Amino acid sequence: MLKVIGVNTIDDLFADIQPHQKPKSFDLPNGLSEFEVIEKIKRIAEKNTTNLISFLGGGYYDHYVPAAVTALISRGEFSTAYTPYQPECSQGTLQALYEYQSAICTLTEMDVANASLYDGGTALYEAIMMAIRITRRKKIVMDGGVSPIYRKIIHSYTNNLNIEFKETPVVHGQSDRDQINNLLDKDTAAIILQNPNFFGTIDDHSDIIQKAHEQGILVIESVYPVSLGIVKTPGEMGVDIVTGEGQSLGLPLNFGGPYLGFMSTRKKYIRKMPGRIVGKTIDSSGKSCFVNTLQAREQHIRREKATSNICTNVSLCAVQSLIYMSLLGKQGFVNLSQLNLDKAEFMRKTLETIEGVEVKRSSPTFNEFTVRLAKEASVVINAMIEKGFAAGFPLGRYYKGMENYMIVAVTEKRTKEEILKYAECLKEILSQ
């Protein structure tokens, strides 16, 4: 084989691998039986701390997933289906995705949605590229309240592209109107906003959107879908492109994935939208049926002409979120949103009684809020882990000068007893 491919030795074959990157030894242990392997993996897994009571947020949340969701999505019709290129034998998958699109449109109050993207971060990147295609401009203004995790994804994807980025700060948790208005001009393709933003703050962006539209600038908004049961929708505000992370719609945290990116927009921009769009039509017999209406990805047309170069999506996760939304129903979704808000407000009031905790209340929030601690947040969080709590997200990780700040998230799963116990442990740690 070496002779056929033109090298003399095994070392020549792997010459491109640096010495420090090569395995030190191939002295592997003897094989184990299936039972022995499982037991060994169990012992390794037990070293992980998986039983923490979670108050973590930052874009990924510990929501309850009804057992019916897992049962239904495990059916063979869903779990074995792949890309529905042949509509005549993919009607079930296509209809499920069509209904998913309809649910996302209803949730965001937008005209059209695609049949899913990878996750919230890559969906936001796709929205940027979509806005550039529509406006033929190259400048993007990004609000400081947009997730720093998403911003990192965006800068990674666009590193070698000729795109100018301008970022603005937040003022008391809200978007800085003056800074944003100063940056909006005839070269701006889009402004990116997030609601609620990374600090948990709710904002009505209608005034920013109006200013942007006066100059032909598109508005992209990343949203937390659970909040849309009670928060003003992007469609009502006049947003052009909506994206978000769909993990909170019936997907477990899963150690970081797979997750779900959703996107919806105005009908006039549908042909600039990435990914796959399923449509409903009539067949030759007059019966209703479903087809891939638009699918202008790199597999289907020339590479640089494609609306997206991310080559697949997460249809199973999309269907899972559809099942979750269908089980909740309209009023159930409203009730879920209200429950998250109420529990978070109880948490805020409880933490305000603790010396060494300052709850930021300059702006309204949904189920996530910012607190300032008397000690460094990462130190407090590590101490809370020892007491059984994932206490929050340390903002100093991404924001210089905010080492004592953290964001705390409360979902419908958190009980009164857990919240009070959290407060008791936090008080003890801060008093030491």
pLDDT tens sequence across 119-148: 999 999 999 999 999 999 999 999 999 999
Q: How confident is the model at residue 323 (pLDDT cuts 50, 70, 90)?
A: very high
Select from 325, 352, 385 the last residue of a domain.
325
Instruction: Average the pLDDT over each of 9-13, 304-308, 368-372, 408-412 and give the range with the smallest value.
Output: 304-308
Residue 258, preceding bond cis, omega within 30 degrees?
Answer: yes
Which residues have CB under 8 Å from 365's CB, separation 6+?
A: 173, 196, 200, 201, 202, 344, 348
* pLDDT number for residue 299: 59
Residues 314 and 360 in one domain: no
The rounded distance, in Å, linking the Cα atoms of 418 and 421 is 5
Residue 273 lies in a domain: yes
Please state, in angstroms and rounded to a whole number, the distance separating the CA atoms of residues 225 and 223: 6
Q: Verify that 87 and 199 share a domain, yes or no.
A: yes
**335 and 317 in a common domain:** no
Position 20 in a domain: no
Crossing angle of the two packed helices 416-431 and 315-351, in degrees rounded to 10: 60
Residue 34 lies in a domain: no
Band of residue 301 on the pLDDT scale cut at 50, 70, 90: low
Domain that holds residue 357: 53-63+329-431
Does the pLDDT of residue 391 top 70, yes or no? yes
pLDDT of 109 > 90? The answer is: yes
Cis peptide before 196 (omega within 30 of 0): yes
pLDDT of the residue at 22: 86
Chain segment 47-97, per-residue pLDDT in tens: 887 789 999 999 999 999 999 999 999 988 887 777 787 888 889 899 999
Q: Specify whether the CB–CB gap between 311 and 298 falls below 8 A.
A: yes
Residues 6+ apart with CB under 8 A from 228: 107, 108, 337
- Report the sign of the C-alpha dihedral through residues 165, 171, 175, 180, in that order: negative
CA angle 321, 201, 60 (to 5 degrees): 35
Asked whether residue 13 is domain-assigned, the answer is: no
Residues contacting residue 431 through CB under 8 Å, at least 6 positions apart: 355, 356
pLDDT at 350: 98
Q: What is the pLDDT of residue 77?
A: 82
Co-location of 194 and 116 in the same domain: yes
108 and 154 fall within a common domain: yes
Structural domains of the chain, count: 2
With left for phi above 0 and alpha for psi between -120 and 50, is residue 254 left, alpha or beta? left
Q: What is the pLDDT of residue 47?
A: 86
Position 282 confidence tier, pLDDT thresholds 50, 70, 90: very high
Q: Are residues 144 and 291 in the same domain?
A: yes
- What pLDDT shows up at residue 173? 84
Using CA atoms, how far residue 207 sits from 122, 195, 210, in Å, is 27, 14, 5
Q: What is the dihedral of CA 403, 409, 414, 419, to 10 degrees?
A: 40
Domain assignment of residue 12, yes or no: no
User: Is pLDDT above 90 for 395?
Assistant: yes
Residues 283, 369 within the same domain: no
Alpha helices in 26-90 (DSSP H): 34-45, 67-73, 76-79
Residue 360 is part of a domain; what is its CATH number? 3.90.1150.10
pLDDT of residue 303: 66
What band does 296 get if pLDDT is binned at 50, 70 and 90?
low
How far is it, in rounded angstroms, from Cα 326 to Cα 66? 12
Boundary-marking domain end, from 325, 340, 361: 325
Kindly report the CATH number assigned to the domain that includes residue 95.
3.40.640.10
Note the pLDDT of residue 309: 76
Mean pLDDT computed over 294-320? 76
Averaged over 373-397, what is the pLDDT?
Answer: 96
Element (H, E) at 333: helix 315-351
> Do both 162 and 292 map to the same domain?
yes
Contacts 24+ apart (CB under 8 A), 265-269: 265/110, 265/111, 265/112, 265/113, 265/130, 265/240, 265/241, 266/110, 266/111, 266/112, 266/240, 267/111, 267/112, 269/130, 269/134, 269/240, 269/241
In a domain, 9, yes or no: no
